[in-house]
Chain A
Amino acid sequence: MAISSDDVLHVARLANLSLSDEEVARMSEQLSGILEHVAALSSLDLDGVPPTAHALDVQNVTRPDEVRPSWPRDEVLAGAPAAQDGMFRVPPTS
């Protein structure tokens, strides 16, 4: 399964990575190479085999609805690349 440059650009957009032309070309080649190895899986008979998302067989892990103090705002904003008026500042969304 070859991954074209267009595929790479589409996926990069979904992943919010801006790739140089050289990276796009390399990514297309390397990802195609990896998927060639993955193609071996198609030899397996998986009919009727259910998927396993998690090896752990546990359910109903919840916690009580009880409040714990939140973090001081100064502390959570201290690591922010940009903050203003007690909020996280970001470039315009459009």
Chain B
Amino acid sequence: MSENTTTWEPVIGLEIHVQLNTATKMFCRCENRFGAEPNTLTCPLCLGHPGVLPVINQGAVEKAIEIGLALGCTIADRSVFHRKNYFYPDSPKAYQISQYDEPICVDGHLDVGGARIGITRAHLEEDAAKLVHSGGEAGRIGGAEYSLVDFNRCGTPLVEIVTEPDLRSPEQAVAFLALLKNTLQTVGVSDCDMEKGSLRCDANVSVRPAGSSEFGVKTELKNMNSFKFLGDGMAAEIRRQIDLLERGEPVVQETLHYDPGSKMLRSLRSKEEAHDYRYFPEPDLVPLAPSQELIDRLRDGLPELPAARTARFAESYGLPPQYAADLNAEPRVADYFESVAAGADAKSAADWVLNTRPSPVDEIPAGRLAELIGLISAGTITSTIAKQVYELMLADGDTPPAQLVEQHGLASIGDSAQLEAMVDEVIEANPAFVEQFRSGKEGVINALVGQVMKQTKGRADARQVQELLRSKL
């Protein structure tokens, strides 16, 4: 069948909800904090009591503008809050105050891996409460006998970021989300902790024949709470849609939930539930019209963003592009690298920061790591020994690495008489290998090097040992 030869192109757009790290909630002055005892961060307003009125948190407005600026958006001259009406126990007013057709940020972009991904909009809204389903089969909504509601999270400021359907693969979508997360962390507006739910991602996924300019029917994948689930969920959904289309069956527009356990997608709303949010302008609030002064002040205050920093790392430290990108996966990693590189060779610093386990980032002060790298460069210790010194530094963070080398006698043996004596010893003790080498089996030299290295306990440079051996043989 001809369909089976079709190449399919995935089309992906993301909707990302970011909890802002303001001191207070969006519309009341309750503390905005994760992990408190249930319902200890509530008041009549965030509980939707009769008679309460929302008042906009200026801090949230400024963080939303910062996000918009970081994503190259236009900050709207005027933005308006609407009521989005729906009944659910996590929504105390039975409407969410959100922005609808006049959002605060529009028309931005984020470049990832050379592709420009459009940002349709970023708007302010409030988070819902947390529901705990109990009594039935644990953790299963369907079997619950009752639910309990904790309103601590209710009213947390959210920025919802909506991308254009510009992403073309799950890998690209994941890379986009990683860069977005890093950008938001760098701006300092959110901790973006997916496990705590401060960064949440929904994906709109469709496929179409490659080269087509029309969009296929899309499905919405809800709340994938890790990069892995997001990637796996999208991949699974793309496979499912392609299978359907290749069998000649239609894709149905629906909302799906990816279950990481079974690696299956299931429909969230089984019955056809007409959603009619009846948006209308929130009469309790007045429009936002941020002044140019405010926007300029916030723009001037923005730190260097990951995209720019990645370019700078490649340029000024001479790092390979992948290194520069990997170091910028998280702002604290990039910060740490820069501190290390201030006192050591940049390429080595990058190697240590990216490839060492456990990661030095939270374990070793940057200056100490730079000292360690310095000891290698100076030939004081070998790379092998450096790993050993690193272990010692993990256990004893106070002592400078040079002192640890001294205390444990780990300094390189270098070209000293001691090393020559060891080489002679090994040649003497292994006449058979020596014979084989001399008869042309050059490979056995590695065995001899190994024996010398064993004797030096790694304190010699293997290449130097080999050279010594060759000269003696």
Instruction: Please report A residues at the B interface, Cβ cutoff 8 Å.
Output: 10, 14, 16, 53-54, 56, 58-68, 70-71, 73, 76-77, 84-94
Asked if B167 CB lies within 8 Å of chain A CBs, one says no
Contact A54 B56 (CB under 8 A): no
Contact B78 A70 (CB under 8 A): no
Q: Of A16, A61, A66, A90, which contacts B149 at CB under 8 A? A: A90
Interface centre among B29, B144, B290 (most CB of A within 10 A): B29
The residues of A that contact B290 with a CB separation of less than 8 Å are 60
Taking chain B's interface residues, is the majority helix, strand, or loop, or is none over half, making it mixed? loop
Contact B287 A59 (CB under 8 A): yes
The residues of A that contact B40 with a CB separation of less than 8 Å are 70, 73, 86
Q: Whose C-beta in chain B lies nearest to the C-beta of A93?
A: B147
Taking chain A's interface residues, is the majority helix, strand, or loop, or is none over half, making it mixed? loop
Contact B30 A87 (CB under 8 A): no
Contact B288 A87 (CB under 8 A): no
Q: Whose C-beta in chain B lies nearest to the C-beta of A90?
A: B89
Contact B31 A67 (CB under 8 A): yes
Q: Of B59, B142, B149, B287, which contacts A87 at CB under 8 A? A: B149
Q: Of B29, B146, B281, which contacts A89 at CB under 8 A? A: B146
The residues of B that contact A77 with a CB separation of less than 8 Å are 39
Contact A86 B39 (CB under 8 A): yes
Given known pairs A54-B281, A59-B288, the reply for A90 and B58 (CB within 8 Å) is no
Contact A66 B147 (CB under 8 A): no
Contact A87 B286 (CB under 8 A): no
- Return the 10 tightest CB-CB contacts between A and B, nearest first: A65-B59, A87-B148, A68-B29, A53-B281, A62-B58, A88-B149, A62-B56, A86-B38, A92-B144, A59-B289
Q: Whose C-beta in chain A lies nearest to the C-beta of B129?
A: A88
- Complex Cα–Cα for A65 and B285 (A): 17
- Complex Cα–Cα for A61 and B59 (A): 12
Closest approach, in angstroms, between the C-beta of A23 and any C-beta of chain B?
Answer: 19
Q: What size tier do the contact residues of chain B reach?
A: 35 or more
- Complex Cα–Cα for A86 and B88 (A): 19
Asked if B380 CB lies within 8 Å of chain A CBs, one says no
Kindly supply a per-residue 1/0 record for chain B positions 264-290, scoring 1 wherever the CB is within 8 Å of any chain A CB and 0 otherwise: 000000000010101011010111111
| Interface CB pairs A-B, < 8 A, 9 | A54-B286, A61-B56, A63-B57, A64-B58, A65-B22, A86-B40, A86-B150, A88-B148, A94-B141
Asked if B321 CB lies within 8 Å of chain A CBs, one says no
The residues of B that contact A65 with a CB separation of less than 8 Å are 22-24, 57-60
Contact A84 B148 (CB under 8 A): yes
Contact B286 A58 (CB under 8 A): yes
Given known pairs A16-B87, A54-B283, A93-B131, the reply for A63 and B39 (CB within 8 Å) is no
Contact B146 A92 (CB under 8 A): yes
Closest approach, in angstroms, between the C-beta of B79 and any C-beta of chain A?
Answer: 10
Interface centre among A73, A76, A87 (most CB of B within 10 A): A87
The residues of B that contact A94 with a CB separation of less than 8 Å are 141-142
The residues of B that contact A62 with a CB separation of less than 8 Å are 55-58, 61, 288
Given A73-B42, A88-B89, 18 further pairs, Cβ under 8 A: A10-B274, A14-B278, A60-B286, A60-B289, A61-B55, A62-B57, A62-B58, A62-B288, A63-B55, A66-B23, A68-B43, A70-B30, A73-B40, A76-B47, A87-B150, A88-B149, A92-B133, A93-B144
- Complex Cα–Cα for A89 and B63 (A): 34
